[in-house]
Amino acid sequence: MIPVQGVTDQTIAVLGLGRSGKATAAALQAGGAQVVVWDDGQEARAQAEAEGLEVRDLTRDDAWTGIATLITSPGIPHLYPNPNPVIAKALEKGIPVDNDIGLFFRSFATRDWDEFDTMPRVITVTGSNGKSTTTALIHHILQSVGRPTQMGGNIGTGVLSLDPAHDGEVVVIELSSYQTDLARALTPDVAVFTNLSPDHLDRHGGPGGYFAAKRRLFSEGGPDRCVIGVDEVEGRYLANQMGQGPGDDRVIRVSSGQKLDGFGWAVFAKKGFLSEYRKGRQVASLDLREIGGLPGAHNHQNACAAYAACRAVGIAPRDIETAFHSFAGLPHRSQTVRELNGVRYVNDSKATNIDAAEQALHAFKRIRWIAGGLGKDGGIAALQDHLGEVVKAYLIGHSARDFALQLGDTPHEVVDTMEAAVARAHAEAEPGETVLLAPAAASFDQYPNFEKRGEHFAAIVNAL
């Protein structure tokens, strides 16, 4: 646990009692704060009381006496589409609102660091797609070369549940737009931006607000190095904003598909090969094509981002390449579940939006595509030009029939359930084909989250 600094004898309110809320309450108490908590759910409040926490109804005006700060869980809206009523009261009263990320960045460095030979460093990763894989890959590389490292944030351990830093440690943190949007302190040493595609637009008031939430990590965080994917205009804009010209090597531009040789520092993948350029000259190259845990161009972009971040903390190219080969990939992200009778079964349940599904559809050949769930605005119409490798689609969930209307001449079948989709694809698949779960939709019609959807798919496949 990382005790929160600067809160001794203050009364701090915590809104939301999920994993991060409970960890925040404990870290605040460890830092000497008096903590009061509130959750909209009665069961969560009862559990908090049973654990000895003071539950205070923050929907009441008289509950705010003496409260210095409100700490909110990331899933609770603080601005769009409407602030949670408790947050709205804090805003009206002028009480600062923060989250666990802000507390982490103001509390991670301690006086113990004066005794360290090598200062700990923090690498943060944000973006729309690929941030979990990139985060896990950076962490894996650090482990492979023997660097002390921890991983947390939006993946794995909550930031305040991490251990205090060790000498020379590198902490790798995945950050969502919900987390970067509100944090009052953001001070990473290396910040990574993978890419941007429309997502969470209601929460951020549109695409501009969504990008602005990501951008805060760079513009307000002031990292020593910025690793920025420049395959979209937002990334190019961000790289332009953070650098003092094309030769500024504090910005490492990253791409999958375009050559970047006119900049101070760049890493790109083209035709399956990763290249690192410094001041217009190639300084390293490695082959990504046979790395099983990183299939497809989208994972090659993730590899470039992870490579650049690790180079920024002094890891040698060949050590990174060796670590790439031992990376198994993350569950639910282009994860090969099994090969059976010459057919590959791939779980990409995390492909909950159009852009992620598009990347998956370009990563494999001769695809039997399982798609559907709770569709997002526009359905899958935008994928019309990316279905060339789809032999047949098997459509499940709430939006199955809407998706069917958007598939045009692509062979498809509405099967409704995962069991039926896997059974039909298994019966019809031929050697050399891939049965791919890439839903292009949320999971909440049939599953509590994308992980449970992916686990169900894997369980059915493993039982074939």
Fold (topology level) of 109-325: UDP-N-acetylmuramoyl-L-alanine:D-glutamate ligase (3.40.1190)
Other CB atoms within 10 Å distance of the CB of residue 248? 14
Which two three-digit tokens encode residue 193? 């931006």
Residue 152 φ/ψ, nearest 5 degrees: -170, -160
Which residues are bridge partners to 176 per DSSP?
Answer: none
**Which pTM does this prediction carry?**
0.84
Distances, alpha carbon 398 to alpha carbons 352, 357, 372, 424, 441, in Å: 14, 17, 7, 19, 10
Length of the chain: 464
Domain spans of the chain, in order of start? 11-98, 109-325, 335-462
Q: Which residues does 247 contact at the CB level (< 8 Å), separation at least 6?
A: 263, 264, 279
Tokens (6 digits) for 254: 């990253």
* Burial profile 152-190: b = 16 or more Cβ within 10 angstroms, e = fewer: bbbbbebbbbbeebeeebbbbbbbbbbbbbbbeebbbbb
Amino acid at 149: T
The reported pLDDT for the residue numbered 221 is: 85
Look at residue 19 in the predicted model and tell me its pLDDT.
86
Structure tokens at 156: 């794995």
In CATH terms, the fold of domain 335-462 is: Protein-Tyrosine Phosphatase; Chain A (3.90.190)
**Residue 335: what pLDDT?**
87
- In this predicted structure, what is the pLDDT of residue 355? 86
Superfamily of domain 11-98: NAD(P)-binding Rossmann-like Domain (3.40.50.720)
Per-residue pLDDT of the chain (464 residues; tens, 9 = 90+): 999 999 999 999 999 998 889 999 999 999 999 999 999 999 999 999 999 999 999 999 999 999 999 999 998 999 999 999 999 999 999 999 999 999 999 999 999 999 999 999 999 999 998 899 999 999 999 999 999 999 999 888 999 999 999 999 999 999 999 999 999 999 999 999 999 987 778 888 899 999 999 999 999 988 999 999 999 999 999 999 999 999 999 999 999 999 999 999 999 999 999 999 999 999 999 999 888 888 878 889 999 999 999 999 999 999 999 999 999 877 888 888 999 999 999 999 999 989 889 989 998 999 999 999 999 889 999 999 999 999 999 999 999 999 999 999 999 999 999 999 999 999 999 999 999 999 999 999 999 999 999 999 999 999 99
User: Annotated binding site for ATP: which residue ranges?
Assistant: 127-133
Strand partners, 11: 34, 67
Q: How much is the pLDDT for 47? A: 93
Q: What is the pLDDT of residue 201?
A: 81
**Binding site feature residues:** 127-133
Cα–Cα distance for residue pair 213/227, rounded to 1 Å? 17
| pLDDT at site 295 | 82
